[in-house]
Amino acid sequence: MKPIKVGLLGLGTVGTGVVRIVEGHREDLLGQTGSSIEIAKILVQDKSKTRSISVPEDKLTESARDVIENPDIQVVIEVMGGIETAKSYILEALERGKHVVTANKDLMALHGPEILAKAAEKGCDVYYEASVAGGIPIIRTLIEGFSSDRITKIMGIVNGTTNYILTKMSQEGAAYEEVLKEAQALGYAEADPTSDVEGLDAARKMAILGTLGFHVNVALADVSVKGISGVSKEDIAYAKRLGYEVKLLGIAERQDDQISVSVQPTMVRASHPLASVNGVFNAVYVYGEAVGETMFYGPGAGEMPTATSVVADLVAVVRNLNLGINGRQVFVPYKEKKLKTDEQIASKYFIRLHVADKAGVLAQITNIFAGEDVSLESVVQQPNATTPHAEIIIITHSASQAAVNRVLAAFGDMEGIVHEIKSVYRVEG
């Protein structure tokens, strides 16, 4: 049997890992697929660059044409990143009947439906396990493992950079800016960390997970996003005192076929499994009507974990090739999208206020909540050494987002009573 020839677009961190695995696991891959796999061409920006792995020079090319137009190449792996150029290469590869594996979360979050539709039209496979949560096989699990169940909620830590920052703030009592600089020095955060710390990276991943879990086309614009740049060490200290950890959570929920998807700093009960996910690790919690609660945990990034997911997708494509069933498992959303309104999105909330330190203030505050039918789980009032005002810490029972927004708006109008709304967090677990 002829070897399956593969074209690789990109030889950065993940691409290097893919070459290591394919070259180093030849016998295992042959045993699992029944075919030998050969990386025939690799697109690079500079053929003369010194690399951490040895690749024959004739396999390197600076022209994508040598990969996409090569009639011998049956599978194209895209690990170059970016959006528009990667999209054009993938669509052209599919047009030519080549199967595609990608690790590109930005591309799949923004243009996934178009790419999957082209794959279905051409009878080609498109796999993208590595686009979410690195080495955790969450996409295949949602498509295959939960195919007989109805998922009601997906909640996860899907960005390692922000989880590292929040973990260090929690364990060391350090300020956000201090830990961010450390994360940049270690290479966990980019020089421009906006995509990570403002929640955009996590939002793209949650759009993908929401689409797969709920069978609707969740667009990036459907995801409500709030990052961690406003999280203070005081917030984290209060959370710990009350038995919570602060995590940047992606939360996708479905009830009566209406969905909501968000990314936001969230207080997670310390006894919940997600609260103990630390450092750069990721974890995804999935609730199914039949199976109940499940959690998937592992490294969310890095050369070998991400490359492992890419090569697992490659194995799936090659198996399909040998069975003659390529293109039959392309995931296409089939349900109508119905987004929840703020009145329908409900959770518990943590609210920290600076208020006038005088009699009767707490009663006025609680009356505002009562007027919006928001019941309170706990209220703590105490002096604050850093301000002449008193500090009130409130955790509500489950309430609609709309009701809580009206409460906060009312606080904004209480001049001389509420001096500042210091922080507001969703509470889970």
Of 252, 193, 260, which is closest to residue 227 (Cα–Cα)? 193
Identify the CA nearest to 162 among candidates 197, 200, 186, 203: 197
Question: Could you say which of 41, 98, 168, 205 is catalytic?
Answer: 205
Mind listing the pLDDT tens digit for each residue in 320-337? Answer: 999 999 988 777 788 999
Residue 128: its pLDDT value, please? Answer: 96
pLDDT digits (tens, 9 = 90+) for 409-420: 999 999 999 999
Residues paired with residue 282 on neighbouring β-strands, in sequence order: 298
Instruction: Tell me what pLDDT residue 187 has.
Output: 86
Q: Give the whole-angstrom CA distance, residue 293 versus residue 277.
A: 16
Residue 307 has pLDDT above 80, yes or no: yes
Residue 387 pLDDT greater than 80, yes or no: no
Residue ranges of E strands in 128-272: 151-157, 223-225, 244-255, 258-269
Tell me what pLDDT residue 375 has.
Answer: 97
Q: Which CATH class is domain 346-428?
A: alpha beta
d(CA 108, CA 313): 15
Look at residue 63 and give its three-state secondary structure. Answer: coil
The separation between the first and the last C-alpha atoms of the chain, rounded to the nearest angstrom, is 53
User: Residue 329 has what pLDDT?
Assistant: 76
Give the pLDDT score at 188.
86
**Mean model confidence pLDDT for the chain:** 94
Query: What pLDDT was estimated at residue 186?
Result: 87
In the chain, the amino acid numbered 339 is: L
CB atoms inside a 10 Å sphere around CB 177: 9
Using CA atoms, how far apart are residues 347 and 399, in angstroms rounded to an integer? Answer: 6
Architecture category of domain 4-134+303-323 in CATH: 3-Layer(aba) Sandwich (3.40)
Closest CA to 244 of 391, 352, 367: 352
Q: Residue 426: in which H helix or E strand, if any?
A: strand 418-428
CATH architecture of 138-299: 2-Layer Sandwich (3.30)
- What confidence tens digit (pLDDT) does each residue in 88-124 have? 999 999 999 999 999 999 999 999 999 999 999 999 9
The predicted model scores a pTM of 0.92
CA distance 347 to 428: 8
Give 328's contacts (C-beta < 8 A, 6+ positions apart).
320
Establish whether 340 is a catalytic residue.
Answer: no
pLDDT of residue 73: 98
Q: Would you list the domain boundaries of the chain? A: 4-134+303-323, 138-299, 346-428
Strand partners, 248: 265
Cβ count within 10 A of residue 58: 8
pLDDT of 302 reads 83
